[in-house]
Chains A and B, each alone.
Chain A
Amino acid sequence: MSERLTVFKTYKLYVGGKFPRSESGRVYEVTDAKGRWLANAPLSSRKDARDAVVAARKAFGGWSGATAYNRGQVLYRIAEMLEGRREQFTREVADAEGLSKSKAAAVVDAAIDRWVWYAGWTDKIAQIVGGANPVAGPYLNLSTPEPTGVVAVVAPQESSFLGLVSVLAPVIATGNTAVVIASEKAPLPALSLGEVLATSDVPGGVVNILTGKAAEIAAPLAAHQDVNAIDLTGAGADLARDLEIAAADNLKRVLRPQPVDWSADPGTHRLTAFLETKTVWHPTGSLGASGSAY
Chain B
Amino acid sequence: MTSPFEYAPAPESRSVVDIAPSYGLFIDGEFTEAADGKVFKTVSPSTEEVLSEVAQASSEDVDRAVKAARRAFEKWSALPGAERAKYLFRIARIIQERSRELAVLETLDNGKPIKETRDADLPLVAAHFFYYAGWADKLDHAGYGPNPAPLGVAGQVIPWNFPLLMLAWKIAPALATGNTVVLKPAETTPLSALFFADICRQAGLPKGVVNILPGYGDAGAALTAHPDVNKVAFTGSTAVGKAIARQVAGTDKKVTLELGGKGANIVFDDAPIDQAVEGIVTGIFFNQGQVCCAGSRLLVQESIQDELLDSLKRRLSTLRLGDPLDKNTDIGAINSAEQLARITALAETGEAEGAERWSPACELPTSGYWFAPTLFTNVTQAHTIARDEIFGPVLSVLSFRTPDEAVAKANNTQYGLSAGIWTEKGSRILAVANKLRAGVVWANTFNKFDPTSPFGGYKESGFGREGGRHGLEAYLDV
Contacts and interface: CB of A to CB of B under 8 A. Distances in A.
Partners in one complex: yes
Interface of A: 128-129, 133-137, 139, 141, 143, 148, 228, 237, 240-242, 244-245, 247-251, 253, 256, 269, 276-283, 294
A134 B450 CA distance: 9
Given A128-B143, A250-B459, A135 B453 contact: yes
Given A135-B448, A248-B246, A276-B458, 12 more contacts: A133-B453, A136-B127, A136-B452, A139-B448, A143-B453, A143-B454, A245-B246, A251-B241, A276-B439, A278-B436, A281-B453, A282-B444
B318 interface: no
B439 A277 contact: yes
Contacts of A241: 249-250
Contacts of B272: 294
Contacts of A251: 238, 241-242, 245, 257, 259, 459-460, 462-463
Nearest to A241: B250
Nearest to B478: A269
B249 A280 contact: no
A180 B441 CA distance: 32
Given A129-B143, A136-B127, A279 B246 contact: no
Contacts of B127: 136
Nearest to A61: B435
A240 B443 contact: no
Contact of A294 (B246, B445, B463): B445
Interface in B428-474: 429, 433, 436, 438-445, 448, 450, 452-456, 458-460, 462-463, 465, 468, 470
Interface in B231-248: 238, 241-243, 245-246
Contacts of A277: 439, 454, 456, 465, 470
Given A280-B441, A281-B441, A141 B250 contact: no
Given A143-B454, A248-B246, A279-B454, A137 B448 contact: yes
Contacts of A148: 458
B146 to A, nearest CB: 13
Given A129-B143, A143-B468, A251-B245, A279 B459 contact: no
Contact size class for B? Answer: 35 or more
Contacts of A282: 429, 443-445
Given A248-B249, A251-B245, A133 B443 contact: no
A269 to B, nearest CB: 7
Contacts of A137: 448, 450
A129 B472 CA distance: 12
B275 interface: yes
B315 to A, nearest CB: 15
Nearest 3 pairs of A and B residues by beta carbon = A241-B250, A248-B245, A244-B249
Contacts of A244: 245-246, 249-250
20 contacts: A135-B448, A135-B450, A135-B453, A136-B450, A139-B445, A143-B468, A241-B249, A241-B250, A242-B249, A244-B250, A247-B245, A248-B242, A250-B459, A251-B238, A251-B259, A277-B454, A278-B438, A278-B440, A280-B440, A281-B440
Nearest to B448: A281
Q: Name, among B414, B436, B438, B452, the residue most crowded by chain A CB atoms within 10 Å (CB to CB).
A: B452
Contacts, number: 107
Contacts of B456: 277
Nearest to B242: A248
Contact of B452 (A129, A134, A228, A248): A134
Q: Is the interface of A mostly helix, strand, loop or mixed?
A: mixed
A145 B412 CA distance: 21
A135 B468 CA distance: 10
Contacts of B259: 251
Contacts of B436: 278
Interface string B252-270: 1000010100000000000
B264 to A, nearest CB: 14
Given A141-B453, A269-B478, A278 B462 contact: no
Given A251-B257, A277-B439, A280-B443, A141 B414 contact: no
B450 A250 contact: no
B454 A253 contact: no
Given A139-B445, A251-B257, A228 B459 contact: yes
B250 to A, nearest CB: 3
A294 B465 contact: no
B441 A278 contact: yes
Contacts of A143: 453-454, 468, 470
Contacts of B439: 276-279
Nearest to B276: A294
Q: Name, among A133, A248, A269, A279, the residue most crowded by chain B CB atoms within 10 Å (CB to CB).
A: A279
Contacts of B241: 251
Interface string B124-149: 00010000000000000001000000
Nearest to A145: B470
Nearest to B449: A135
A135 B452 contact: yes
A251 B244 CA distance: 10
Contacts of A128: 143
A57 to B, nearest CB: 13
A248 B246 CA distance: 6
A250 B127 CA distance: 34
Contacts of B414: 250
Nearest to B442: A281
A31 B164 CA distance: 61
A283 B448 CA distance: 10
B275 A294 contact: yes
B450 A141 contact: yes
Contacts of A240: 250
Contacts of A237: 250
Nearest to B248: A244
Nearest to A141: B453
A68 to B, nearest CB: 13
Interface string B197-240: 00000000000000000000000000000000000000000100
Interface string B110-125: 0000000000000000
Contacts of B460: 250-251
Nearest to A282: B443
Contact of A283 (B249, B445, B454): B445
A234 to B, nearest CB: 16
Contacts of A279: 439-441, 453-455
Contact of A133 (B252, B441, B445, B452): B452
B138 to A, nearest CB: 15
Contacts of A253: 463
Contacts of A228: 459
A104 to B, nearest CB: 32
